[in-house]
Amino acid sequence: MQSDILEVVGLCKSFGGVQALRDLSFSIREGEVLGLIGPNGSGKSTTVNLLSGSLPPTGGQIRLGGHRVEALSQWDRVAMGLTRTYQTASVFPEFTVRQHVMLGCEAHRKVSPLAQAFRLKRDKSEEDRVQQKVAQALKLTGLEAEADTVVGVLSAAQQRFLMIATALASNPRVILLDEPAAGMISHERETLSGMIRRIRDTGISVLVIEHHMALIMEVCDRIVVLNFGASIAQGTPAQIRENPAVIDAYLGEAA
């Protein structure tokens, strides 16, 4: 029996008069891919913003490995193993792929990279650990051959894979992906779904937001459906596909 790594209980968020999330509860199990779907404006990105600590909730609890995190900073949550990527690609174009992925290791470093660079303080075992994490992240995302390529010349899809690699380098227990397939063509989406499954198979839990239903149905173990900020259904892809409320609110329109 898998246990829950992330629990969301009664989460609420208002923006002035707009209630973006209403009493949302769900959980993510260890080593599962959970899909979060719903119409535009239904509160998917807001959920990720609250989970990652980009925004404070108006109410409710977020527990990671049993510990309350809703009042912690984004940085503290990354250090505890909760990491995200953004809906829009944000990368440093002048870095090499390897340097970019190394940024993800920051949360766990004892010696600051600046001190490391100026040889003020060296920690060989830490350097080895960083290199190992970076190599694993590059392998999982298929970017090994691009390790020394400058980020700015990568394709848009590769830049999205790079964001995932950078997030993986922070040693997450849960990774939150907001529309990772945006702008991708069919073979890139296939690469992405293989990647998400490989990540899951290493024991990391994945929350994925996507409008691309074939990808969602293919990679998710379970799905949570939002409509107007509330959960209207939770279940396996087969259950969600057949759910009349989901078809009515979202799938009818997506199909």
Ligand X SMILES: Nc1ncnc2c1ncn2[C@@H]1O[C@H](COP(=O)(O)OP(=O)(O)OP(=O)(O)O)[C@@H](O)[C@H]1O
Which residues of this protein are in contact with Mg ion, per CB under 5 A?
A: 44-45
Binding-site partner at residue 41 among ligand X, Mg ion, none, CB < 5 to 8 Å by type: ligand X
254 touching ligand X, by CB under 6 A? no
Determine which helix (DSSP H) or strand (DSSP E) holds 21, and give its type and residue range: strand 18-29
Q: How far apart are CA 132 and CA 180, in angstroms?
A: 25
- In three-state secondary structure terms, 238 is helix
43 touching ligand X, by CB under 6 A? yes
85 touching ligand X, by CB under 6 A? no
C-beta atoms surrounding 16 within 10 Å:
5
DSSP annotation of 88 reads S
41 touching ligand X, by CB under 6 A? yes
**Smallest distance, ligand X to C-beta of residue 2, A:** 27
Order the strands of the 33-37 sheet from edge to edge: 82-84, 174-178, 205-209, 33-37, 222-227, 230-235
- Contact segment (CB under 6 A) with ligand X among 14-22, 122-130, 196-204, 241-249 equals 14-22
- Contact segment (CB under 6 A) with ligand X among 36-44, 92-100, 143-151, 160-168 equals 36-44
Find the binder of ligand X among 27, 45, 193, 227 (CB under 6 A).
Answer: 45
Q: Tell me if 211 sits within 8 A of 35, measured CB to CB.
A: no
Find the binder of ligand X among 2, 18, 76, 113 (CB under 6 A).
Answer: 18
227 touching ligand X, by CB under 6 A? no
Q: 47 or 166: whose CB is closer to ligand X?
A: 47
Determine which helix (DSSP H) or strand (DSSP E) holds 134, and give its type and residue range: helix 124-140
Q: 8 or 134: whose CB is closer to Mg ion?
A: 8
DSSP annotation of 247 reads I
162 touching ligand X, by CB under 6 A? no
Q: What's the gap between Cα 82 and its chain centre?
A: 8
Q: 189 or 212: whose CB is closer to ligand X?
A: 212
Q: 42 or 243: whose CB is closer to ligand X?
A: 42
246 touching ligand X, by CB under 6 A? no
- In three-state secondary structure terms, 39 is coil
Half-sphere CA count of 142, side-chain side, radius 13 A: 15
40 touching ligand X, by CB under 6 A? yes
Determine which helix (DSSP H) or strand (DSSP E) holds 50, and give its type and residue range: helix 44-52
Question: In the complex, which residues of this chain contact ligand X (CB under 6 A)?
Answer: 15, 18, 20, 38, 40-46
